[in-house]
Structure 1
C-alpha cells in the first residue's frame, strides 16, 4: 500500500497555511439538492475559490440513500452542474460525511461493518477525496456506548478499505477526518437545553486511540493524511433555538492542536451561527465549517416568499399551491418529521414549515412537491414579478436588483437567497471579502 502524501491538494495547502498562522478555512456544503449545489458552485465562482460539497451516509449510499443516489450518481450531479456553470472540475472537492455503519445500526456489528466496507469503497472509487471515518454508533449487538478503542479499530478497518479502493481506482489519495463529538447526521433530534464543548482530554484520547489503531493495523504511514478532528465547539441548533459559539469555553480544547502539525478542527452543525461567530471559529482552528440545513432553510424561505407573491399575481386555478402541497405531502408521509416535532397541531404545523432543523428538506424530491415548485417558477417567469412585490417579500434581493447586482427572475431570486446563507461562510474562511449589507 502506497502511503503517499497530500502535497499539492487544495485541502493540504489550506491546512498548511492555517497551521502557519493564516486565518483561513473552507466551508463544506452538505446538501444533495441541485439548487443548493448550483448556488455553492456559483458562489465559489464569484469568490475564485474551490468548492467543497459533501454527501452524508444517509443521503447517498450504495443503495441510493434517501436521495435515490449512489456515490457515483451524486458525483455526476455535482460535476454536471459545474460543467453547466463552466466551473473547472479541478476546483470541485467531493467529500463523504459520517461514513460508517450509521445506516445499519439495527443490525449486528459485523453485518453493519460489512455494509460500511462497501459504502466507503463506493465513495472512494467514485472520486471523493475527503472522507470522514465515523464508527461511533452502536449496532444491534453493541453496548450503548462504544469505547474509543472499538471506534478507532473499526475506523482503521474502513481506512484500509478506502486505501485499497483508491489504489484500484488510481484516483487522488483521500484526506481523512476522524472524531464524532457531534449529534447524529442531520442535527439534533430534540430540543436542547445546554451544550458543552468537547473536553480537551476527550479530544486527546480520540486522537491517541486512532493513532494507535492505525499503527496496529500497519497503517501508521497514513496518519499525515488525517487532516481534521471533529469535536464539539459548543455550536448546535434544534427546532427553535441556536447555540452560538462562545470562544471563552474552548480555550483548553484549542490547545489540543498545539502539537499536531497537520490537524485542524472540523465543526459540524454551524448552521445559523452569526457571521462574527463563524469568523471566531476559523480563528480558533475550526478551519472546516459544515453547513447543510441552513441552506435548504434559506431555499424554503425564498420559495415560500415566491409562493406568496404568486398568490398576488396568478389566478387560483393556475397557482402552484406550493405551500399547501408541501403540507399535504408531509402529512401523508410523516416518517421524516413525526418523531421529531411534538406539541399541538399548530406547533407541529409551524415546525414542519419553519423549524431550524428543517425536516422539510427531505421532501423536496417528492414528485408532487417538485412539480409544484416548477409550476411556481414557471408561473412567475411567465407573468414577471413587479419590483414592489419583491420589496415586500424579499427585501434584500430587492436592494440588489435596484443596485444592478441581480435580475428579477424567480430562479435568480432563489439562488441569491441561498447564497445569502453562504456569504458569511466565505468571508469567515477568508475566501471572499465581498460584503452585501442589508438591501444592497
Structure 2
C-alpha cells in the first residue's frame, strides 16, 4: 500500500493499478468509529469528509467548526488506537453554498472565512465548488465564473494551510442535499466537458499565480451515471461511461471523484474504481445502515420484553416537531411522507441522531438489551444481513456488535473495491 494514497491515485491508475479510496461523508460518531476501526484492521488510510453545510465557521448543522470536527474525529481515533498520521480530513463542496441567498461578494467573503478555517485546521483534501449562483444570479454559473471563484478560494487555502492541500475541482448534479423523488435519467459527463473543466480551472489558478497549487489538483468531480433518489438507485453501467473513463488518458494527474455512490453493488463499486472513478463518496448509505440496525434492535427488544417499540416513535415525534430537514424533500401524501421519513434512501433521519432526544432514546435501547446474547432466530427475523455472520462466529450476537457491523459491512464493500486482491 503506497504512502499518501490520495495523492498517488492518478499515477496508480495510469500504471494500471486499480486502487481507490473511500470518502466517508458523515459526522455520525458510530460511522466514524467503524471507518477508523476498519482502517486500523486493514492498515489503510481513512478519508473522512465534512460538507460546507455540515461543518463551517458558524457551526453548520452539526454545531462543529472545522477545528472542533478535527478534535471530534481524532478523539475517536485515540479511543480505538488508530494512527492519526493515516487520517485524511476533507472539506466537501467548499464554496458559497451555505450563503447563496446573499450577494455574490458577501457569500464569497463568508466562503473565504470557511476555507481559511478548514485549511488552518489541517484539512488536506479541499473540494472547491463555486458552481451555484448567489442572490440575483443564475441558478448555476458558467465554467469561467465557477473557476475564477474557486481559484480565489484556493489562494486563501494556500495562505492558511498547515498541511499542503490536495484539490478536487468540479461539481455534480444535484447540488449538496441530494436528489428529490425518483431519479429517472442521468446525463453522464462528456469527455469534452471534463477536459474543459480542468482547462478552465488551470487557467484561473494560473491567473492568480497558483500554478504550483494546481499541480496538487488530483480529482475531478464528474457524473458517471450513479445516483439515488428517495426510492430508487441508478446503478453504474460501465458501457455508458466508457468514453468518460477513457478521457483520463488526456487528463494526466487526475482521477475522477464519484459522488452519491451509496447503495451501488459491490460489483458496481469495483467497476467504478477500475474505470478511474477512484474516489468513492458515501454518506447516507452508512447512516441508512445505522438506522436499519437500530430499528431492528428495537424490534428485537420489543419481542424479548413485551414492551412496545421505543426508538421509531421517538424519531417520528422528533421529525414531526422539527420538519426542516425533510419536509421539502419528501413530497406526496401524509402516508407517503411517513414512509419516507424513516425508510428513504436519502436517509434524512440522519440529521436527527445528534439531538439529545435521539441520543437518549438510543442509549435507552442499548441499555434495554445490554450485553446479552440475542437469539439467532430474532437476528434472522429483524437483522437478516447479520445472521450468516453470527452463525459463522464472525459477529457476536450482542446489540453493540450488531450495530457496529451493520456499518462496517457497507464499508467493507468499499474497501474491497478500492483495493482488489490483485492490487493489494
TM range (shorter): over 0.9
Matches within 5 A, 1:27-176: 27-166=22-161, 171-176=162-167
Aligned counterparts of 1:145 and 1:391: Cα–Cα separation in 2: 48
* Alpha-carbon shift at residue 384 of structure 1 (Å): 4.6
- 1:97 is paired with a residue of what secondary structure? strand
Matches within 5 A, 1:225-374: 225-316=216-307, 321-374=310-363
Aligned counterparts of 1:416 and 1:8: Cα–Cα separation in 2: 27
- 1:257 is paired with a residue of what secondary structure? helix
Aligned counterparts of 2:239 and 2:395: Cα–Cα separation in 1: 40
Q: How many equivalent pairs are there? A: 421
Q: Is the 8 A contact 1:320 1:373 kept in 2?
A: no
1:219-272: CA deviations, max 9, x gaps?
A: 112221000000000100000010011111122222332122210000000000
Structure 1 pair 432/89, CA: closer, same or farther in 2 (3 Å)?
farther
Aligned counterparts of 2:37 and 2:320: Cα–Cα separation in 1: 34
- 2:48 is paired with a residue of what secondary structure? strand
Partner of residue 182 from structure 2, selected from 191, 205, 208: 191
RMSD across aligned positions (CA): 1.6
Residue number in structure 2 paired with 1:436: none
* Alpha-carbon shift at residue 144 of structure 1 (Å): 2.9
Which runs of 5 or more structure 2 residues have no equivalent in the other structure?
Answer: none
Structure 1 pair 134/157, CA: closer, same or farther in 2 (3 Å)?
same
Aligned counterparts of 1:289 and 1:152: Cα–Cα separation in 2: 23
Q: Is the 8 A contact 1:99 1:116 kept in 2?
A: yes
Q: Which moved more, 1:148-157 or 1:217-226?
A: 217-226
Q: Which moved more, 1:322-331 or 1:143-152?
A: 143-152
- 1:221 is paired with a residue of what secondary structure? helix
Aligned counterparts of 1:64 and 1:50: Cα–Cα separation in 2: 27
Is residue 12 of structure 2 the alignment partner of residue 17 of structure 1?
A: yes
Aligned counterparts of 2:268 and 2:303: Cα–Cα separation in 1: 39
- 1:158 is paired with a residue of what secondary structure? helix
Aligned counterparts of 1:389 and 1:145: Cα–Cα separation in 2: 50
Aligned counterparts of 2:103 and 2:214: Cα–Cα separation in 1: 29
* Alpha-carbon shift at residue 184 of structure 1 (Å): 1.2
- 1:339 is paired with a residue of what secondary structure? coil
Q: Is the 8 A contact 1:320 1:376 kept in 2?
A: no
1:131-162: CA deviations, max 9, x gaps?
A: 00010111003223311000000000000000
Is residue 373 of structure 2 the alignment partner of residue 378 of structure 1?
A: no
- 2:370 is paired with a residue of what secondary structure? helix
Aligned counterparts of 1:77 and 1:303: Cα–Cα separation in 2: 23
